[in-house]
Amino acid sequence: MTADLFEGVAAVLPSREVMAEGAVLLRGFARPSESELIAALRDIEGWAPFRHMVTPGGHSMSVAMTNCGGLGWVTDRGGYRYDANDPETAKPWPAMPAAFRQLAVQAAAQGGFPGFSPDACLINRYEPGARMSLHQDKDEDDFTAPIVSMSLGLPAIFLFGGLKRADKPRRFRLEHGDVVVWGGPTRLVFHGVAPLADGKHALLGRQRINLTFRKAR
C-alpha cells in the first residue's frame, strides 16, 4: 500500500483534539450520520418549531431554539429552567431520535465519559450575525455528566473560556460534523459562539445547527 493511499484513509477518519483537561474536539465525528441527523431534525422542527426565546431580562435571543428529549431547556421572564413540555403548546417535546442519542453516547465515550445518558437535547439555529454570549451550562441537577455539542451546517467560531467569565476564551473553528465534549474539571467553563459569518452550506443553506446534549436530571 502506498503512502498516498495511507494519507487518503487518514483523511476520512475523525481526529481527536484535546482542548483542555476533560475537553476534546472530535473533528468530523458526526459527518457519517449527517443524513440521519438532518432528517430527524426536520421531523423535530415540524413538531416543535424553532423560536427566539426571551431572557429573564426581556431580551430576545438572536439564536432560534427548540428541543427534543424528555426535557427541554427554556428561558422566559420567569427564568432559565428545564421543562418536560413545550411552553408554547403545553405538549411534550419530541422524543430524542435514536440517531441523536447513539451519536451523543458514542462521542461522550470517545471524550472519556462512558455511560453518558442524555435526557435533553437543546437545538440551536444560528443564522448570519447570530451569536451566543459567554455562559455556563449550570441548570442541570448535577455536573457529573459531560456536555456533548454537535455542529451542522455553516462553520462557527466556538469560544472556550475558563471558570471565570473574565478568563480570555480560546477560539476553535467548528466545521460541519465536528463534536465537542467537555466535562469533569471543565464542565462549568464559560463558552459561547462568535457572530456567525454569512455563507451557504450545501445541505443546510445559510445556517448553523447546534445539537447540545445534556443529562439534566
Interaxial angle between packed helices 34-47 and 98-110, expressed in degrees from 0 to 180 and rounded to the nearest 10:
130
- What are the cell numbers at 90? 403545553
Q: Which residue has the cell 436530571?
A: 217
Query: What span, in angstroms and rounded, lies between the C-alpha atoms of 152 and 179?
Result: 9
Q: Which residues are annotated as a binding site for substrate?
A: 73, 80-82, 139, 165
> Would you list which residues are annotated within the binding site for 2-oxoglutarate?
124-126, 208-214
Residue 35: how many CB atoms within 10 A of its CB?
A: 10
Residues comprising the binding site for Fe cation?
135, 137, 191
For residue 122, the cross-strand partners are: 67, 212
Contacts of 178 (CB under 8 A, 6+ apart): 25, 26, 27, 28, 29, 30, 150, 151
- As given in the structure block, the three cell numbers for residue 103 are 451519536
Instruction: Report the alpha-carbon distance of residue 104 to residue 128 in Å, rounded.
Output: 26
Please give the annotated binding residues, written as ranges: 73, 80-82, 124-126, 135, 137, 139, 165, 191, 208-214
**Residue with the three cell numbers 475558563:** 162
Instruction: Give CA separation, 58 vs 12, 69, 80, in Å.
Output: 45, 26, 12
